[in-house]
Structure 1
Amino acid sequence: MTKTISSLLVWFLSVLTNNLLAQKETSFIFTDAKQLTLIGKALSTDSFFHRIDTVAFPGIPPAVKRLLTHSAGLAISFETNSTRIAAKWCTSPQGPGNNMTAIAQEGMDLYIKRNGQWQYAGVARPSTHECNEFVVAAHMAPGDKECLLYLPLYDETLSVQIGVEAGARLTAKPNPFKKNILVYGSSIVHGASASRPGLAYPARLSRETGYNVINLGVSGNAKMEAAVAEMIATMPMDAFILDCVPNSSPEQVTERTANLVNTIRAKHPDAPIIAIQSIIREGGNFDESIANRVAQQNGNFLREIQELQRKDKHLYLVTAENLIGDDHEGTTDGTHPNDLGFDRMLQKIRPAVLEILGSHGI
C-alpha cells in the first residue's frame, strides 16, 4: 500500500511539473491586431475586419453585404524578434463549408520574409467554430522577422490577438505591397477551395508581384449588378481585375458587362481593366448542361469585351484556355480550384498582369 501511494505521489508530482513546464513553454504576451497594420482593404471601415463598409452602399444586394463581412484577403503586417508566435482569434459561429478546409475557412496562416521572398511559416488551426488559440510557429531562430498573418477566408473575423514570448518585440510594419489592384469576382476569387488563406490566388498574386492585390470575391454573388459596379467605381484603385463570369448567367453577361466596365471607366479613365473568362469547369467533363453554360458565358463575355475594346484601349482580356490546366486535376469539386488549380491560374494571370501594368508604368 505504501509503495502504491509513493508511486501515485511520484506520478502526481511528475504531471504537475510537466504542466508547469508546459505553461511556461507556451506562455505568450498577446497584442490586439488593431494595434498593428491591417492590409487588403479597398476602403477604410468602422468594423476593423470587414472588407467594405456596406452601410455606405445601401443599394448592393443583401448577400453581397453579408459576404463582404468575411475577412478574405485581409492580413496583419508586423515585425517581431520572438522565436515563437501564437494567435488568439474569434470568428462567427457558422459551421464549416463542404468544400473548404477548416484552416482556410476560419483559420489563419503565417508568412515570414526570408531572403526577400515571402515564405510559409505556419498555420493557426481552429478547433471550434468561434474562439481559438494556437501556436502558429515555434523554435525559430532569434532575430527580426517581417510577418504577414492572413485572416480567415470564409468567415467574419471578430477579433485577433498575436502572441510573442515575454520580452520579445512586436511592432506594426507598413503595407509591404505597392499600388492598389482590385480583384472583383466569384467564390474562386474569394478563395474556394484553397487549403489555407494565403493560397487564395489574390494573396499569391500580391506576394509574387509586389502589388497590393485586394480581394473583393463574393462567393456565388459576383453578378455585376449596377449598384456593385457603382461601389467598385468609387474605390481608389490603380487597376481592376474582373473575374466575375462564373456567377453571372449567359444573359447577365450580355446585359451587364458593358455597364460594369463603363461605370468603372467613367471614374478611372486611364486605369487598366483586366477581364478574365471563367475557368472551364471540370463539372462539365461529362455534364453537358454545365459545359454548355460555361461555353455560353465565355462566348458572350468575349463578344462584349471585344466590342468594348474597340473604344477602350486600356481594356484587356485573359482567356479561359489552360487557366487550370488540361489534365482535369485542378479542382476540388469540379468548380473550385484546388491548390494545383490556383497555381496554374497564377502561371497565366501573373505574367499578363505584370506585362499590362508595366506597360502603364504601374
Structure 2
Amino acid sequence: MDAREQEKTKSLDANMRVPVNSDSDLEWHSPLRAPFRITGLPWLEQDGVYRRLPVRPNHPLRPEVDRLANFTTGVQVRFRTDSPKLFVRVGLADKAVMYQMPATGQCGVDCYIGELGDQRYVNTARFDMAATEYESVLYDAFPRQMRDITLNLPLYQGVKELWIGVTAGSELKEFPDFPSTRKVLVYGTSITHGACASRPGMAYPNILSRSLPIEFVSFGFSGNAQGEPELAHLLAQVDDPALLILDYEANVPSMQRLRDSLPEFIGIYRERHPGVPILVVSQIRMAREAFDEGARNGREERKQIQRATVERLIEAGDANLHFFDGSDLLGADYQDCTADGIHPSDLGYSRIAKSLEPVLRELLAFEFLIQS
C-alpha cells in the first residue's frame, strides 16, 4: 500500500489519524531530572543516556548486542501529576522498520495510571511511522487530580530525546517508592525483548512489573542472547539483584553451545552474587512444532540440557538455582498465541506473565518484598 492509499484508509476513520497538537498551554520536562524516576536502566546515573548496558563496558560486546542495548525495552518513566493533560515528545534513533510488529510496539510510548498493583492502561502515542521524531497526546481532558503515571518506552528502537508535557502550573511529584531497591533481571531472546507486542506495556517483563512491586530490568537482545560470558559479567555488575531469569535458549547457535554456556554463565554470576535466586526458563513452543517433529525434538533436547545442568549444579551445592519448563507457557492452543509462528502476540505475552507470576512470587517471598 503506497502513501496515498494509507492516507485514504486513515480518512475513513478519525480514530486512525495522527492528531496534530495545537495546545500551547504545556510545560515540557525532561524525565532525566527529578521528580521523574526511570527504571530499567542500571547505568543511567553513570552515563546519562537511555541505554540498557554501559556506554563503555569493561567487557567487549558483539556489535549486534551493542546496538540492541540502545533499544529501550523494559524502560519505564514513573511520576505523579495532577495535570489534566499528558503529552510526550520523542526523538528516536530510527523509524519503524519491522514487518511483523506494529509501529506502536517498536517506537511507541504507552501510558498506565494507578499505584503499584492497580495500574490501568490509558493510551498509546500516535505518530507518523516514517518519522523519527513525534509529539503525541496520551490524555487531554481528565479532571485535575493527582495520578500515578507509568510510561513504557519503545521496545525496538533507541530513544535519543524524551520530554513530558503537562498543563502549565501542574504539580509534579515522585512516584511512590518500591518496597525495596532490589531488581529482577531478565536475560533472553526476542521474546524477552518484546517481539511482537502491539505496544510496549505488553512485553512480558512489563506485564510482570504491574503485578509485582519491584523493578524489572529487561536484558532482552533480539536474536543475540547467546549466553556470552561478557553478558554474565555485565549483569553481575547490577547492584541489588533479587532474582536473575535466564531465558536465552532459542538464540544459542548449537546444542553444544547451550551445554557450555549455561554453567559458565551461572558460574560467572555466582562469583559476585552467590545467594541470589536464578531461574532458568526453557523455550516456548513454536507453531510449526505441531507439524515439524524435528523442531519439536530439538526444543525437547535443549530443555533437557537445561534441566540436567540445573539439577547437576543443585547437587553440587547451589540451593538457589531453579528450572521452569516453558513448554506450556502459551497453553494448549499455543499456535494462536503468536504473531508470526514464533513471537508471542499480546495474548501470548499475557499468558507467559500469568504463568510466571506465581513462580516469581515464591522465589521473591524470602526477600519480604511481595505480599502473596
**TM-score, scaled relative to structure 2:** 0.86
**May I ask how many residue pairs the two structures share in their alignment?**
341
> Per the alignment, do residues 290 and 177 of structure 1 end up closer, same or farther by CA in structure 2, a change over 3 Å counting?
farther
1:219 equivalent to 2:222? Answer yes
* Aligned-pair Cα RMSD in Å: 2.0
2:308 to 293, 297, 303: 303
Contact 1:185 1:243 in 2 (8 A): yes
Higher mean alpha-carbon deviation, 314-323 vs 89-98, is at 89-98
| Displacement of 1:149 | 0.9
1:200 equivalent to 2:207? Answer no
The one-letter code sitting in structure 2 at the alignment partner of 1:33 is P
Contact 2:116 2:213 in 1 (8 A): no
Contact 2:242 2:364 in 1 (8 A): no
The one-letter code sitting in structure 1 at the alignment partner of 2:238 is M
> Per the alignment, do residues 306 and 151 of structure 1 end up closer, same or farther by CA in structure 2, a change over 3 Å counting?
same
2:329 to 317, 323, 328: 323
Contact 1:29 1:166 in 2 (8 A): yes
The DSSP-based 3-state class of the residue aligned with 2:336 is: coil
Higher mean alpha-carbon deviation, 221-230 vs 166-175, is at 166-175
Matched with 1:15 is none
Aligned ranges for residues 1-362 of structure 1 at < 5 Å?
A: 25=23, 27-35=25-33, 36-44=36-44, 45-113=46-114, 117-127=118-128, 128-173=130-175, 175-176=177-178, 178=180, 179-236=182-239, 237-248=241-252, 249-311=254-316, 312-327=318-333, 328-359=335-366, 361-362=368-369
Q: Larger radius of gyration, structure 1 or 2?
A: 1
| Displacement of 1:194 | 1.2
Alpha-carbon deviations, 1:190-215, whole Å to 9, x = none? 11111111111111111101111111
> Per the alignment, do residues 25 and 63 of structure 1 end up closer, same or farther by CA in structure 2, a change over 3 Å counting?
closer
Contact 1:86 1:164 in 2 (8 A): yes
The DSSP-based 3-state class of the residue aligned with 2:233 is: helix
The one-letter code sitting in structure 2 at the alignment partner of 1:91 is L
Contact 2:112 2:121 in 1 (8 A): yes
Cα distance in 1 for residues equivalent to 2:322 and 2:115: 34
**TM-score, scaled relative to structure 1:** 0.89
> Per the alignment, do residues 151 and 257 of structure 1 end up closer, same or farther by CA in structure 2, a change over 3 Å counting?
same
Alpha-carbon deviations, 1:297-328, whole Å to 9, x = none? 21221221221121211001111232011112
The DSSP-based 3-state class of the residue aligned with 1:253 is: helix
The one-letter code sitting in structure 2 at the alignment partner of 1:182 is L
Q: 5+ residue gaps in structure 2?
A: 1-19
> Per the alignment, do residues 265 and 58 of structure 1 end up closer, same or farther by CA in structure 2, a change over 3 Å counting?
closer
Cα distance in 1 for residues equivalent to 2:96 and 2:167: 32
Q: 5+ residue gaps in structure 1?
A: 1-21
Alpha-carbon deviations, 1:201-233, whole Å to 9, x = none? 111111101111111101111111111111112
Cα distance in 2 for residues equivalent to 1:177 and 1:349: 21
> Per the alignment, do residues 24 and 324 of structure 1 end up closer, same or farther by CA in structure 2, a change over 3 Å counting?
closer
Contact 1:109 1:197 in 2 (8 A): yes
The DSSP-based 3-state class of the residue aligned with 1:105 is: helix
The one-letter code sitting in structure 1 at the alignment partner of 2:64 is A
The one-letter code sitting in structure 1 at the alignment partner of 2:30 is D
Alpha-carbon deviations, 1:33-88, whole Å to 9, x = none? 22222111233341421111141234221111111111111111111111111111
The DSSP-based 3-state class of the residue aligned with 1:120 is: strand
> Per the alignment, do residues 92 and 115 of structure 1 end up closer, same or farther by CA in structure 2, a change over 3 Å counting?
closer
Cα distance in 2 for residues equivalent to 1:243 and 1:274: 9
Matched with 1:3 is none
Cα distance in 1 for residues equivalent to 2:62 and 2:21: 48
The one-letter code sitting in structure 2 at the alignment partner of 1:204 is I
Contact 1:177 1:212 in 2 (8 A): no
Matched with 2:9 is none
| Displacement of 1:94 | 4.0
